[in-house]
Structure 1
């Protein structure tokens, strides 16, 4: 099941809760003592920064796969920490990111030190709209001599943000991205309803993806339909990118939203009505679209507004995809719109040339 730590941060008493959540997440994936301490420090600084620059906000802590290199070259699971706020934005981001620049009541590390010690750190801030700060910490890969191995990057990156309804411990949504040779498959599943039973259904879909990532989307959905019969069922969307032919195949069942951006603009990708594991459509065609250097794929569960559209400010392909997902979630939410379900956004983007090894 998908475990997510959702901690509101509106006063200094919640900073400790964020630190404890980061330590719990690190233990969940078996990080060692040193890397757990790094995750705890980064989480503490993110929470303190929320209070100083954003007037409070939300910290989401999750465990995710770190990257999509060739099999055997990855860095394993990571603790992902995302801080979201609707504040005024950080007026002087270069200064805030300077190593040793300390926010008030912090441990004295500051965002600059977080950028240095985290395995990935990125901040997106816009005056008047708020800030998204994202960090990931994973177990360092080392050779037999104990030297840290260089990172390996795939031609594309995947990332996501998962928010359980009412800050529940488990989300009924789950997403994953798996590589099989030259094919990369992004899946988003929304278990029927919410809570542990919904999480079991979406988690079963992710486990099947890890075993059957070589299948085209319609065949994978057929296998999922059989595997999820003993669960509540789920809405599932599957997108498979072929790196060799540079095309994207998509198929879905249920109300998972999907949009693909290209040079011509945004195009919706349509799923068929039904519930995987309960009501499968008789025909399940897939659509095939070109994948270009400016492509960007967004999958989202129905926790977003039903008429969500991409924001007028362009979503840059150079952003970490989890930052893109967090910006979408932040900008589509408001206090006036009650949330009635888990909310997940998963994004697939090309890897910027200067990020590739």
Structure 2
């Protein structure tokens, strides 16, 4: 079962805790020691920035696959480090990435160091709402890999997974896999909390990895058998066929899905039930047209059903999907009232023409 780490950062003593958690996450992912050191460095810089510029926040660490499922390497874990705050925000995020820029009496090299060190980096800040900074550290300090799929598909994914009350395991899980010209995004919410819920959602992830060619409704039927010796889970599955520009969706249980097309949003409806214990006899599969102005959000019920898309999710942009997911969670919570349950949000969007930033 995958570990997740959440470290609140409200005073300088927690910076060391963040560094230790980043090292543990990197070793859990099997990274070489130089990349472990890179994860520790980035996490330390982000935690320090939270105290200097936002009055505190939290660091989320997770093990994720590559944002672009291009080479069949979904099992290659990388450490995702996410700094989330409800601080004053930045009026000029681009300037903050330049070495020497600082709003405090410091060298102004923190975010620039993170940008250079990380394999993937993303930032979004809204004055008055706060800032999200994301960095991923992979097993090698360069992009690209030989694999069975020589060309990446024009779509990428990302997400966040936050355990209830700082738990060691989250009962939620998400994954994005590729087969040929199709990308499948799945989010599973295991019943309850803790290791047993995590076991159910992890079993769903493993089954999808074994059968990524199945359409969403057929996959849910397959998952129903695979999860019978677990607590069961609510599951949403979206499959994007980029060759024909079509998104197929099916879901069971209390999981949410919204599709943005241009400026408008629509909900994708799941059927009542529990995968693994009570699967509906009829599983409708919704078909939607997919275009370059679309964005898909899947989320567990830890996110309020009436969440409002913020600036990061409303407009077409080149933001990393994981950053969009984190802003959705951040804007639906507050420093006083963090997530009310295990909470996972996964986002699928078209890949910008220039590729990941």
Give matches, 1:81-120, under 5 Å. 81-99=81-99, 109-120=109-120
CA distance in structure 1 between the partners assigned to 2:86 and 2:331 by the alignment: 8
CA 1:21–1:186 in 2, change beyond 3 Å: closer, same or farther? same
TM-superposed deviation, 1:109: 4.5
Contact 1:68/1:178 (<8 A) preserved: no
TM-superposed deviation, 1:16: 0.7
In structure 1, list runs of 5 or more residues that go unmatched. Answer: none
Instruction: Provide the secondary structure at the position in 1 that maps to 2:276.
Output: coil
In structure 2, list runs of 5 or more residues that go unmatched. Answer: none
TM-superposed deviation, 1:341: 1.4
Name the structure 2 match of 1:310: 309
Instruction: Note if 1:12 corresponds to 2:15.
Output: no
TM-superposed deviation, 1:120: 1.3
Segment of structure 1 superposing worse, 314-323 or 102-111: 102-111
Give matches, 1:192-231, under 5 Å. 192-231=191-230
Segment of structure 1 superposing worse, 167-176 or 70-79: 70-79
Contact 1:67/1:153 (<8 A) preserved: no
TM-score, scaled relative to structure 2: 0.92
Name the structure 1 match of 2:77: 77
Contact 1:43/1:81 (<8 A) preserved: yes
Q: How many residues align?
A: 353
TM-superposed deviation, 1:121: 1.4
Contact 2:171/2:201 (<8 A) preserved: yes
CA 1:218–1:28 in 2, change beyond 3 Å: closer, same or farther? same
CA distance in structure 1 between the partners assigned to 2:356 and 2:129 by the alignment: 31
Segment of structure 1 superposing worse, 205-214 or 306-315: 306-315
CA 1:132–1:94 in 2, change beyond 3 Å: closer, same or farther? same
Give matches, 1:320-339, under 5 Å. 320-335=320-335, 337=337, 339=339
CA 1:172–1:252 in 2, change beyond 3 Å: closer, same or farther? same
Segment of structure 1 superposing worse, 205-214 or 309-318: 309-318
TM-superposed deviation, 1:76: 2.8
TM-score, scaled relative to structure 1: 0.92
CA 1:315–1:15 in 2, change beyond 3 Å: closer, same or farther? farther
TM-superposed deviation, 1:317: 3.5
Give matches, 1:18-97, under 5 Å. 18-72=18-72, 76-97=76-97
Segment of structure 1 superposing worse, 216-225 or 88-97: 88-97
Name the structure 1 match of 2:134: 134
Contact 1:174/1:344 (<8 A) preserved: yes
Contact 1:100/1:110 (<8 A) preserved: no
Name the structure 2 match of 1:182: 181
Give matches, 1:231-246, under 5 Å. 231-246=230-245
CA 1:326–1:199 in 2, change beyond 3 Å: closer, same or farther? same
Give matches, 1:262-277, under 5 Å. 262-263=261-262, 265-277=264-276
CA distance in structure 1 between the partners assigned to 2:104 and 2:231 by the alignment: 47
Instruction: Provide the secondary structure at the position in 2 that maps to 1:171.
Output: coil
Name the structure 2 match of 1:156: 155
Instruction: Provide the secondary structure at the position in 1 that maps to 2:80.
Output: strand
CA distance in structure 2 between the partners assigned to 1:152 and 1:101 by the alignment: 38
Instruction: Provide the secondary structure at the position in 2 that maps to 1:353.
Output: coil
CA distance in structure 1 between the partners assigned to 2:100 and 2:333 by the alignment: 33
Instruction: Provide the secondary structure at the position in 2 that maps to 1:310.
Output: coil
Contact 1:75/1:141 (<8 A) preserved: no
CA distance in structure 2 between the partners assigned to 1:154 and 1:105 by the alignment: 44
